[in-house]
Chains A and B, each alone.
Chain A
Amino acid sequence: AQSVAQPEDQVNVAEGNPLTVKCTYSVSGNPYLFWYVQYPNRGLQFLLKYITGDNLVKGSYGFEAEFNKSQTSFHLKKPSALVSDSALYFCAVRDPVAGGYQKVTFGIGTKLQVIP
């Protein structure tokens, strides 16, 4: 079964500093990995995804994520945090090898707080 873990409930970072939101996954094959952001009382917004190829994936709003197969990780990063980045971030995984409908499994989310 596929799973994803976000080990930090909350990440605090000062505005202008680099940020990292951690994600690790478990699948039987090579994963498809996604990051979404959720603002209060809103749906999820897609940030980026890894399917294959370059391990560094660039996405929306200056975010990027690095796929590390040996560490089964897909950490979200941004070189310089903005106060407006404060939100809930979800990592998600899909196992393309699994049969039937390829369900996406979401982590429990990490709250990012950017301090002015």
Chain B
Amino acid sequence: DTGVSQNPRHKITKRGQNVTFRCDPISEHNRLYWYRQTLGQGPEFLTYFQNEAQLEKSRLLSDRFSAERPKGSFSTLEIQRTEQGDSAMYLCASSTYAGGAETQYFGPGTRLLVL
């Protein structure tokens, strides 16, 4: 299966700890997106990369959050000094450029629980 993969699938951490998630997009996709999904809600946009450039960040992405895509392939999302409110499913998606009509393909997500 050459779809989007995310690791780890589950993460339990204590408040105040740092966590890092990884996303491997579909290999030919140059666009990569991070979303956060909480219970009973749809995915909320966090940030977007085109190749290695981070082109957009949501206001949801506080200064405790940082994302990178150093070589334009895989991406990492780090949360520093986690808070209980960070508990959510973190979804990664990728796409190729299609004039705005591109389909985003999602990974299985990383479920974070902050105790």
Contact = CB atoms under 8 A, between A and B. Distances in A.
Given A44-B93, A96-B99, 8 more contacts: A32-B100, A34-B103, A41-B108, A43-B107, A44-B106, A101-B48, A101-B55, A108-B42
Interface of B: 4, 6, 40-45, 48, 55-56, 91, 93, 99-101, 103-109, 111
B68 to A, nearest CB: 18
The 5 closest A-B pairs by CB, nearest first: A106-B42, A43-B106, A101-B56, A44-B106, A96-B100
B110 to A, nearest CB: 10
Contacts of B48: 101, 103
A92 B91 CA distance: 15
Contacts of A34: 103
Nearest to A109: B42
A104 B106 contact: no
Contacts of B109: 41-43
Nearest to B31: A101
Interface string A25-68: 00000001010100001111110010100000000000000000
Nearest to A95: B100
B30 to A, nearest CB: 14
B99 to A, nearest CB: 8
Contacts of B91: 43-44
B45 A108 contact: no
Contacts of A100: 56
A36 B104 CA distance: 10
A33 to B, nearest CB: 10
A7 to B, nearest CB: 14
A22 interface: no
Given A51-B101, A103-B56, A43 B40 contact: no
B101 A103 contact: no
B1 to A, nearest CB: 12
